[in-house]
Every structure is written in structure tokens, then in C-alpha cells.
Structure 1
Amino acid sequence: MTLGPAATTGEIVAFLGTLRNYENIAGMGRFGIVTDNALGISNPVMQKIARQVKKNPARALELWETGIREARMLALYTLDPKTLEAATARRLAGDFASWEIVDAAADLFVTARLERLIPEFAADEREFVRRTAFSMIASAAVHLKQEPDSLILGYLALVETHASDERNFVRKAVNWALRNIGKRNRTCHVPSLDLAEKLATSANKTARWIGRDAVRELASEKVLARLKD
């Protein structure tokens, strides 16, 4: 069966069911991916399917509502960042329960230029919503190359504020955001490294881990050499 732009939600879900891979499901679980509703289809395959069925925001939201891991990934791939609204992003975020869904959504939200949601998501106490904020920061630091460095550096305050959140998927995203800001360019490197060094001496165990890990990368010869170019 070959899917095309006219494929319905039901047809897509039925096709995805034919690709179920139990070995892949087990492998996903080992990487901390929530597999309760997973079919075990790899993201490269999902991206190929997305290219076949094309963008379709209304259908994407129907796919999201199925709760199937792969259908939700396909929803993120087939939403249109040009028309994605903040209200829809909030709606999706309320369902987040797996880090890989969060990170795919974060890239979409940044492409849709919804950075205004970052402080709101960071203030949210739900683990995966807060992770979304810092995944968005990590993405913005890399992809928003034409934006002023002041925009990206402004997120360091959020990094410092939430560096003590000990929840695994938050602390890793906070660390990721800090490292990506620091690797953006020489302008962003110095204040990021300064914050990393400050956190590395914190009395808080989680902040200390985030700081030390970030210092390790930001002060490495590899990063320093790249920033000199």
C-alpha cells in the first residue's frame, strides 16, 4: 500500500499497523522512550511517510488524538509551522509524556516561531512541558541563526532558575540548552561558560551536575577550536 496526500487518518493508522516491529519496540524502551502505544517504527521511516502524505494540519490533529506513538510523530511531521498557533502548541504540550515526542515538537515550535511560549512552558510544573521549554531553547540556539544573540542569551536566566529541577528529563534538557547556547558562537560562549562554572560550584546536586557537565564540553579543546574559526 502506498499512501498519498489524500490518505485519511484511518488509512494511515491502518498502514502504520502493518509496520509494527516488536524488536524495535523493545529497543525504544531501552532508550527511555514510552512504548505503551508504540508500533516500533523508526523515525526515518516515519519521515518518509510524512513526505508521502504531505502537510495536513487538520488530519495531523486527528492522528495526534489516536494516542499512538507513531501517529503522534507523524502528526508533528505533518503540521504546518507556517500556520501553527500557540493554542495548538499548548494543546499538544498537555499530552506530552515521552522525551522524543517533546524534542520533535520543540523543533516544530521553534520553526513555527513560537519562542514566546518558552517562559510559559518553563514555569509549568509538569515535567515534560518544562522539558519542552529547554528543548526549544536548545533548538533555537542552533537553528535561529539570524536572530540576535541577545535573544538566545536571555534564556540563560531560565537555565539558572531551573537548574535545581532534579527530574531526569528536565535536568538533561536544561543541561542541553546551556551547552547549545555556549556552542552557538564566541559571543554566547563566555556567559554560558561563566554560568556553567557558577552552577558547578552550587550546593545543589542537580545544578552542580548540570554545571560540571556543561563546563566539560564548553571548555573542551574541540569546542574552543571550533569557536575560533
Structure 2
Amino acid sequence: MARRPYSADEAGAALRALANADNLAGMARFGIETGTALGVSMPGIRSVAARISHDHQLAQDLWQSGIHEARILAGLVDKPHWVTPDQMKRWTADFNSWDVCDQICGSLFDKTPYTDAMIVEWAASDQEFVKRAAFATIAWKSVHDKKADDTCFLPFLALIREASTDHRNFVKKAVNWALRQIGKRSAQLHAPALALAQELASSTDKAARWIGRDATRELQSAAVLGRLSLS
């Protein structure tokens, strides 16, 4: 199906046509904020996005609607080269659910010219989902940015070490995710990521110890070692 321009009202109507109240309970069980949610599945949101022409203003309008799925859709109809640092700061300040955070970071914010600078800024934030955005973006960038030199990821290990004692669940899990993805990116990055994971695994801090042990387990798995030709 060919893409065409949509208004915010049309896009909202397309999402509402896929609304399923039965999905809301399942979303809540996974810790997703459902106060403004319609209960549209991620495949459903992607099916709507596939019909819409990329449109920066539409993305802003969808974000301003406050509707959970509309905000995820906003990240799919925007394009990274249209994004500004101000937009990145405004949207992350609005994050109130881990899935919106992760989807926006993985569909949009990990590909902008400002990504690395924003990661550093967000990692220093006290706001739970802003800080999560830093590490979700690191994780996505590790997977998506095939052209980046591996050395670009080494400074992120210091951010991971610093954030490893944050006990908030949504931060802790993102820090762990970022560490694992860096270590799985390449054989070159595997060694320093594993070294950090093992360091954290022996920490006296409960959060750091969990992050380190879980990351060590995956980075030393046969699947990862085999894929990186390290076994």
C-alpha cells in the first residue's frame, strides 16, 4: 500500500479503529502506563505507520495528543534528520512509560546527529525515564548503527558503570540492556564489556551486582561466543 499524507485526526482515527480494550490489562501487567492507551498492538501501530507519509509536523501533532499509541506512531512517521535537540529534550521529558521510551529511542533518537550528546545529557538526569532513554538509546545504537566505529561505544561503558547503582527498575534494566548489547556488537567490544560486567558482578551494591551477573551470563553464553567467533 502506497503511503499518503495523513492529518493528526486521520491518524488518530486509524489507531482507534484498532483499539482493543482487552489488550490494556496485558499492557498493565508488563508495567506499561495505560492511562491514555487505546490497547493497539505494536504490529497494529506499525501497520498504520506504513500507510502514512513521513511528516515532521504530523509527528509533533501526534505527540501533543498525549495518546499512548499516537506517541509511538510519532516516532515512526518522523525522520531522524528532522529531529532537533530541543525535540529530543521535550519528548524525553514527557516519557511516562518504558515502552514509549524504548520505541522512540529505537525508531528515531538513536539515529540523529545529536544522539551521542543527548545520551550523555540524559544519563546525568534524575528523571527515571529520561535516564532510561540514555541506556535504551545506547542499546539500540549498538544494534542499528552498523557504520559506527566500535571505539565510539567505549565511552558509554563509563556511563554504564556510573549508573549501575541506580536501583530503579526501569533504569537498572536499561543499563543492563545497554551493557549486553555493546558486548554483543563485536569481538572488539566483547572483552571490555565483559570485563565491566564481571567487575559489577562482584560489587557490594545489589543493583550493580544484578546487572553484572546477568550481563556476564549472556556475554559468556555459547550463543554469543559462537556468533562473535570467540569460542
* Fold shared per TM-score above 0.5: yes
Q: How much does 1:3 deviate?
A: 11
> In the alignment, what sits opposite 1:24?
23
User: Aligned Cα RMSD in Å?
Assistant: 1.6
Structure 2 unaligned blocks of 5 or more: none
1:3 and 1:167 map into 2 onto residues whose CA distance is 43
Aligned residue for 1:155, secondary structure, equals helix
Q: How much does 1:30 deviate?
A: 1.3
Q: How much does 1:115 deviate?
A: 2.1
> In the alignment, what sits opposite 2:192?
191
Which piece of structure 1 moves more, 15-24 or 48-57?
15-24
Deviations 1:132-168 (A, max 9, x none): 0000110111112211111111100000000000000
1:148 corresponds to 2:173? no
Aligned residue for 1:135, secondary structure, equals helix
Aligned pairs (5 A) from 1:97-136: 97-107=96-106, 108-113=108-113, 114-136=115-137
1:207 and 1:17 map into 2 onto residues whose CA distance is 42
> In the alignment, what sits opposite 2:36?
37
1:32 and 1:38 map into 2 onto residues whose CA distance is 13
Structure 1 segments of 4 or more deviating over 6 A?
A: none
Q: How much does 1:196 deviate?
A: 0.5
1:26 and 1:4 map into 2 onto residues whose CA distance is 32
2:180 and 2:131 map into 1 onto residues whose CA distance is 17
> In the alignment, what sits opposite 2:94?
95
Aligned pairs (5 A) from 1:52-67: 52-67=51-66
Q: How much does 1:5 deviate?
A: 2.7
Mapped contact 1:118–1:134 kept (Cα < 8 A): yes
2:181 and 2:225 map into 1 onto residues whose CA distance is 13
Which piece of structure 1 moves more, 189-198 or 80-89?
80-89
Aligned residue for 1:11, secondary structure, equals helix
The count of residues paired between Structure 1 and Structure 2 equals 228
% identical aligned pairs? 44
> In the alignment, what sits opposite 2:208?
207
Q: How much does 1:4 deviate?
A: 6.2
* Counterpart AA for 2:51: Q
Mapped contact 1:56–1:78 kept (Cα < 8 A): yes
Mapped contact 1:181–1:189 kept (Cα < 8 A): yes
For residues 35 and 19 of structure 1, do their structure 2 counterparts lie closer, same or farther at Cα, with a shift above 3 Å needed? same
TM-score of the superposed pair, with normalisation by structure 2: 0.94
2:11 and 2:145 map into 1 onto residues whose CA distance is 33
* Counterpart AA for 1:68: I
1:208 and 1:131 map into 2 onto residues whose CA distance is 18
Mapped contact 1:3–1:49 kept (Cα < 8 A): no
1:7 corresponds to 2:40? no
1:106 and 1:226 map into 2 onto residues whose CA distance is 26
Mapped contact 1:131–1:169 kept (Cα < 8 A): yes
1:67 and 1:3 map into 2 onto residues whose CA distance is 27
Which piece of structure 1 moves more, 14-23 or 149-158?
14-23
Structure 1 unaligned blocks of 5 or more: none
Deviations 1:42-91 (A, max 9, x none): 11111111121121111111111111111111111111112111111111
Aligned residue for 2:51, secondary structure, equals helix
